[in-house]
Amino acid sequence: MAESEVDLTSEKYEKHREAGEILAQVREETADRVEVGASHLEIAEYAEDRIRELGGKPAFPVNISIDEEAAHATPSIDDDSTFGEEMINLDIGVHIDGWLADTAITVDLSGNPELAEASEQALEAAIDIIEPGVNTSDIGAEIEDVIDGYGFNPVVNLTGHGLGHWEQHTSPNIPNRAVSQGTTLEVGDVVAIEPFATDGGGKVTEGASEEIFSLQREGSVRDRQARKALEQITEEFRTLPFATRWLETDRAEMALRRLKRNNIVHGYPVLKEDDGFLVSQKEHTIIITEDGCEITTA
């Protein structure tokens, strides 16, 4: 889209901004509640309820990733886990009528403040160079350079991403390392920049646990509970990710197994650092403007 055609005051962008404003407040309030002994489930539900109180809706379940976990970890409905002296990443999303904001912060209770600082400073450095015409490969190189400077590695198989309407991850991918080819950002693009830093090798793989799912395709099932779950998914979450604990049906896990077996929903396994090392994360959502960018989640 040509610059002259982009109206950054349109309803779409105002809803992105409103989602970001809510999210910035909820991120800070939630991070302040993370302490040794606090409940994972209570923290997640606090953030999700607070989003609704402030007029938004969760764009995906609150991710609470511990130590070597990098993404897709959220409490189950009966989760009794509590925080210890760990590295904790909170990844939270808000949408207003399907227009999204996405943010993350590391709360370090593990005694590794430099690892948390590495991802935070990498994000700041990336945002400093963002303007119309910047290539995502240059953003990745900036992120990698900062994290390398701290003596750590970027997580190379996780990326930032675009944010679409009812779509949490769209093009372009925004790498966390230097790559040979990228995408040129244009005025009006809405993207999430999210550096991940680790004291491990820099790759994540899928674990066995799954608590987050999303709709893969339309379909029908005979089972009554699965049908009830599918109705809620289709009407309330659409194509956005949801948690098992959000389903208002008996035997939600069994219903999801049936829907997954029929390729109607797909799961997001928890992603973990390959070698079991710590991972930190920092993320903001930005809108590319004529003279740079606007951080919606600051």
- Whether residue 29 is annotated as binding a ligand: the answer is no
Q: Is 161 annotated as a binding residue?
A: yes
Which residues have a Cβ under 8 Å from the Cβ of 142 and sit 6 or more positions away? 122, 125, 126, 128, 129
Give yes or no: 283 in active site.
yes
d(CA 147, CA 196): 9
- If one counts every other C-beta atom within 10 angstroms of the C-beta of residue 128, the result is 11
Q: Say whether 16 is catalytic.
A: no
How many angstroms from the chain centroid is the CA of residue 111? Answer: 24
Q: How many residues does the chain have?
A: 298
Residue 14, number of CB atoms within 10 A of its CB: 13
In the numeric block, which tokens belong to residue 157? Answer: 């198989």
Given 21, 102, 142, 210, the catalytic residue:
102
Write down the catalytic residue from 169, 186, 223, 274. 169
Please name the residues in contact with 26: beta carbons below 8 A apart, sequence gap of 6 or more.
47, 50, 51, 54, 92, 94
- Are 274 and 205 in contact by the 8 Å Cβ rule? The answer is yes
Positive or negative: CA dihedral 215, 272, 80, 281: negative
Choosing from 16, 40, 95, 161, the catalytic residue is: 161
Catalytic residue among 18, 21, 120, 283: 283
CB count in 10 Å sphere of residue 284 = 27
Q: Which of 91, 117, 210, 211 is catalytic?
A: 91
**Catalytically annotated residue among 48, 108, 194, 211:** 194
Check whether 102 is labelled as a binding-site residue: yes
Contact 161, 255 (CB under 8 A): no
Q: Is residue 91 annotated as a catalytic residue, yes or no?
A: yes
Helix (H) or strand (E) holding 128: helix 113-128
Per DSSP, what are the bridge partners of residue 197? 154, 280
Whether residue 165 lies in the annotated active site: no
Please give the angle made by the CA atoms of 148, 150 and 155, to the nearest 5 degrees: 50
Active site residue 78: no
Residue 91 annotated as part of some ligand binding site: yes
Question: Is 145 in the active site?
Answer: no
Instruction: Confirm whether residue 294 is marked as ligand binding.
Output: no
* Residue list, annotated binding site for substrate: 72, 169
Binding residues: 72, 91, 102, 161, 169, 194, 283
Residues with a catalytic annotation lie at: 91, 102, 161, 169, 194, 283
Known binding positions for a divalent metal cation? 91, 102, 161, 194, 283
